[in-house]
Structure 1
Amino acid sequence: MSQRDGFAAGFLAGSLVGGLVGGVLGAVLASRISKETAEAEAPILNSNPSEAKVDKPKKRQLEASSEQRIEVARRSLEDKIAQLNQTIDEVRQQLGNVNGNAAGGSGDRSLTRDAQY
């Protein structure tokens, strides 16, 4: 009984300590992220509206270039998937030939012999 009582107490203490450490760590990381985000957005928020208009085409260009990169990456992945599928088909054919030859040989007999005993 004492082991069960010790387990429950240890589990409860571990949960409390883990929750406290996780909460503190989360708060620290969240404050750092919010500071970095605020620093990054400060020039955008403090800029003139005319400057913001100049930035919009740049953003569109960045979005277009990122879309192009995504498209290139997608095509590359599709090519790699096609190559993998082709290789898998070739290996299946090779294994099918190997397994087909073994089926006619003594391999099946030894399996059935083992199964009888």
Structure 2
Amino acid sequence: MSQQDGFASGFFLGAVVGSLVGGVLGAAIVSRRDAMLTEEETEVTDNSVEGKKAARRRQMKASASEGMEMETARRSLEDKIAQLNATIDDVRNQLGNVNGSSQSSAGSERSLSQDS
């Protein structure tokens, strides 16, 4: 009975301490990110025309590079799919050679059903 009471109190104490540590860590990360965003906003407002042009250039470069990355990823996936399909065909051929009698009987059944 005393072990269960000790477990429950330890569990709740751990949950409370973990929540506090997680909350403090999360707040620190968010405040750091907010500070970085605030610095970027002040740079843009100080040089509003130049800042807007620079932001547009960064956005255009980012979208162009993302487009290239997407195309590269798509081509890579297509190549991998083709490799998988070729491997599947090879395995089917190998299994067909091992189980040659089962394929020939299946072929004869198909021809009988087509004749009927």
TM-score category (smaller protein): 0.5 to 0.7
Q: Distance in 1 between matches of 2:71 and 2:65?
A: 10
Structure 2: any 5+ residue segments left out of the alignment? 102-116
Given the alignment of the two structures, is residue 28 of structure 1 paired with residue 27 of structure 2, yes or no? no
* Partner residue of 1:82 out of 73, 78, 83: 78
Change over 3 Å in CA distance of 1:101–1:43 after alignment to 2: closer
Q: Which runs of 4+ in 1 moved over 3 A?
A: 5-9, 41-50
CA RMSD of aligned residues (A): 2.7
Q: Does residue 51 of the first structure (1) align with residue 78 of the second (2)?
A: no
- 1:102 paired with 2:113, answer no
Q: Percent identity?
A: 14
Select which of 4, 8, 13 maps to 2:9: 13
Structure 1, unmatched stretches of 5+, are: 106-117
Give the aligned length: 101
**Corresponding residue of 2:113:** none
Give the secondary structure class of the aligned counterpart of 2:47. helix
**Residues of 1 paired with 2:89 and 2:41: CA distance?**
62
TM-score (norm 1): 0.67
Q: TM-score, normalised by structure 2?
A: 0.68
Q: Distance in 1 between matches of 2:40 and 2:26?
A: 22
Cα distance between partner residues in 1 of 2:93 and 2:40: 66
Q: Cα–Cα, structure 1 residues 24 and 78, in superposed 2: closer, same or farther, change >3 Å?
A: same
* Cα distance change on mapping 1:57 and 1:15 into 2, 3 Å: farther
